[in-house]
Structure formats: C-alpha cells, structure tokens
Amino acid sequence: MSQTRVYCHKVERGSETMSDKELIKNIYKETYLLQEKYLYTPLDDALWEKFIDEMAELREKYKVHGENIDRLVRMILGALSDYKERKDGKGKGK
C-alpha cells in the first residue's frame, strides 16, 4: 500500500501567512471571477483592454510569491485570454 504525502510550505507576505494550497485556491477563485466577468459576453475594444488590465493586476498581485506561482498565474491567464480570443474570433491571423 503506497502512501501519498502532501508537502505544503508557508508563504509569508507582511503579517499574512498562507500555505501554497490556500494561495492556489485564491488564484483559482480570482481567475474564476475574471472568467465570469469577461468570458461570456462580447467585448468591445474598451472592455478587452479592461480585461487585459485586470489580468495584469492579478499577475502583479501574485508575482511576489515566487517563480512557480507567477508561472501558474501566467499559464491560467494565458489560457483564459486565448480562449476568449478564439471564442470571439479575435485570435492571431483574424
């Protein structure tokens, strides 16, 4: 019988301490909120810029937690924007 161990280190930011698990949960919650706000409605140029700005703000917020967290956020946000571009027909070459 094999055992699975979950390793979770603490991330400190000011007086706030959270585990990786909590941090990733927060990232998913915040990216879900962006998804709900922008992915299911057509975006004009102004709303598209606002979507991009909010993604950049989210990335900056989590960048301080290290390279692995920053990469996770970039990958999730990249997937959201790629999906939106394809869905709206605003992808590369269109």
Separation of alpha carbons 82 and 36, rounded Å:
15
What separation, in Å, do the N-terminal and C-terminal C-alpha atoms of the chain show? Answer: 54
Is 20 within a domain? yes
pLDDT in tens, 52-78: 999 999 999 999 999 999 999 999 999
As a whole number, the mean pLDDT across the chain is 82
Separation of alpha carbons 44 and 25, rounded Å:
30
Is 1 within a domain? no
Strand positions, DSSP E, 1-94? 10-13, 16-19
Number of domains observed in the structure of the chain: 1
Domain that holds residue 82: 10-88
Higher pLDDT, 54 or 94: 54
Helix (H, G, I), strand (E, B) or coil at 89: coil
Tokens encoding 61: 């917020």
Is 52 within a domain? yes
Contact 39, 83 (CB under 8 A): yes
- Which of 83, 80, 58, 82 is closest to 70 using CA atoms? 58
Is 40 within a domain? yes
**pLDDT class for 22, splitting at 50, 70, 90?**
very high
Query: In this model, does residue 19 exceed pLDDT 80?
Result: yes
The pLDDT value recorded for residue 61 is 95
Is 53 within a domain? yes
Is 5 within a domain? no
Is 43 within a domain? yes
Query: In this model, does residue 93 exceed pLDDT 50?
Result: no
